[in-house]
Amino acid sequence: MLTILFDGVAYGMLLFVLASGLSVTLGLMNFINLAHGAFAMVGGYVTALMMDRLGAPFLLTLPVAFLVPALLGVVLERTLYRRLYGASPLDQVLFTIGLVLMAMPIADFLLGNEAHQVNLPAWLSGSLSVYGVGISRYRLFIVAVCGVIAAALQLFLVRTRFGAQLRAAVDDARVANGLGIDVDRIFAVAFAVGSGLAGLGGALAADVVGGIDPSFPVKFLVTFLIVVTVGGSNGILGALFGALLLGVLDVAGKYYIPSIGAFIVYAVMVVTLIVRPQGLFARGDGR
């Protein structure tokens, strides 16, 4: 029972770290970024390749898995994404699907289509036994890391001047500009953070989902979207709670009633959207 609860929380945290970047780009910046998974894939590849080819320690690769997609994000944001901030959701969907379609063959071409594994160091593999409850070390690690990320993001976006400026810029870019806020820079930084988080998520998730391969951006696209939708699209805490809820329900459902398997996640999303179209943990404004 406790093991199941813990697994659910750990799975939820994993969902959160995969989706947190999206809750920045989609949630805060209002950009339907279906290419989120491509950035996650880049992060996963960075970690897998650094460990495999350079023999770098796992922990050291994580910051790089954040930085590389973040830089890539800035470049793409400056050249392409920024032109579509005011565009219709349809344009954003098409554009980012296009990016995904391009990213997958590129990855296949450069790195082959077999899954690249992240092999965890010894201190993270196996499980601990706490009062008879088996707890996987790596899942514990994920819970800890995700907790830190969630807290840091929340502080960053709510407590800092940057966070306030970002929210102002999203609400009304022109007025924000008039107030002397450098909207371009704010958006670029926010996008970089979103992409970097995606990369970090990919790196952390690689082990649990069976490695990183070129189809990664599509395989988990729907999952990302569900998490952000259920959580409500304007806030890190929403995504966190949404992810935890989904994680616990999914794991418990599969354990107790395996026959309904994948239904639960989809059903939770649809029901949530019927009851609260803005997501469970959204502010009341209808955006």
Partner 1 sequence: MSAETTRRIEAHLGRRARWRISEIVFWLALLAVIFAFPSRAALINEILVAGLFALSLDLILGLAGIVSLGQAAFLGVGAYAAAILASWDQADPTLGLAAGALAAAVVGFATAPLLLRGADLTRLMVTLGVSLLLGELANRNGWLTGGADGLEFSMGKVLGRFPIGFTGQRNAALYSFAVLFVLFALARRLRQSPFGLALAAIRENRLRAGALGIATSWRIVAIYAVSAAYAGAAGALLAQTTQIVSLDLFDFHRSADVMLMLIIGGAGWLYGGIIGAGVFIVLRDVISAATPEYWEFWIGLLLVVLVMVGRDRLQEYVRRAASRVALRLARDAA
Partner 2 sequence: MTAKRWTLAAALCAMLAASPALADENTVTVGLILPMTGPSASTGKQEKAGAELYIHEHGDTVAGKKIALVVKDDTGAADVTKRLAEELVGNEHASVLMGFGLTPLALAAAPVATEAKVPEIVTAAATAMITEKSPYIVRTSFTLPQAAAPMADWALENGIRKVVTVVTDYGPGVDAEKWFGGTFEKGGGMIMQKIRVPLKNPDFAPFLQRMADDKPDAVFVFVPSGFGAIFMKQFVERGLDKSGVRLIGTGDVTDDDLLAAIGDAALGAVTTHHYSADHDSPENKAFVAAFEKANNGMRPNFMAVAAYDGMGLVYKALEKTKGDASGDALLAAMKGLSWTSPRGPVSIDPETRDIVQNIYVRKVEMKDGALFNVEFATIPDVKDPYKASKR
Site size toward partner 2 (CB under 8 A) is 41
99 forms part of the interface with partner 1 (CB under 8 A): yes
User: Which residues within the stretch 212-251 sit at the binding site for partner 2 (CB under 8 A)?
Assistant: 213-215, 219-220, 223, 250-251
- Is residue 14 within 8 A of residue 205, CB to CB? The reply is yes
211 forms part of the interface with partner 2 (CB under 8 A): yes
Burial 20-59 (b: 16+ CB within 10 A, else e): bbbbbbbbbbbbbbbbbbbbbbbbbbbbbbbbeeeeeebe
- Is residue 80 within 8 A of residue 94, CB to CB? The reply is no
Question: 128: which 2 tokens?
Answer: 């601990």
- Is residue 235 within 8 A of residue 158, CB to CB? The reply is no
* Bridge partners (DSSP) listed for residue 128: 135
64 forms part of the interface with partner 2 (CB under 8 A): no
Among residues 109, 123, 255, 266, which is the contact residue for partner 2, using CB under 8 A? 255
* Bridge partners (DSSP) listed for residue 134: 129
277 forms part of the interface with partner 1 (CB under 8 A): yes
259 forms part of the interface with partner 1 (CB under 8 A): yes
Smallest separation (angstroms) from partner 1 to the CB of 89? 5
274 forms part of the interface with partner 1 (CB under 8 A): yes
Question: 272: which 2 tokens?
Answer: 């949530």
For the window 202-221, what string marks contact with partner 1 as x by the rule CB under 8 A? ----------------x--x
- Between 66 and 95, name the residue whose CB sits nearer to partner 1: 95
- Between 197 and 251, name the residue whose CB sits nearer to partner 2: 251
CA distances from 32 to 90, 100, 113, 168 (A): 9, 13, 27, 19
262 forms part of the interface with partner 2 (CB under 8 A): yes
- Between 56 and 75, name the residue whose CB sits nearer to partner 2: 56
| Residue 125 site contact among partner 1, partner 2, none (CB < 5 to 8 Å, cut-off depends on kind) | partner 2
258 forms part of the interface with partner 2 (CB under 8 A): yes
d(CA 30, CA 287): 9
- Between 32 and 72, name the residue whose CB sits nearer to partner 1: 32
d(CA 287, CA 284): 9
Count Cβ atoms within 10 A of the Cβ of residue 193 and give its class: 0-12 exposed, 13-18 middle, 19 or more buried. buried
Among residues 87, 145, 208, 237, which is the contact residue for partner 2, using CB under 8 A? 208
The identity of residue 242, as a single letter, is G
d(CA 122, CA 120): 6
239 forms part of the interface with partner 1 (CB under 8 A): no
Q: Note the residues at the interface with partner 2 (CB under 8 A).
A: 3-4, 7, 11, 104-105, 108, 112-117, 119, 125-127, 134, 136, 138-139, 207-211, 213-215, 219-220, 223, 250-255, 258, 261-262
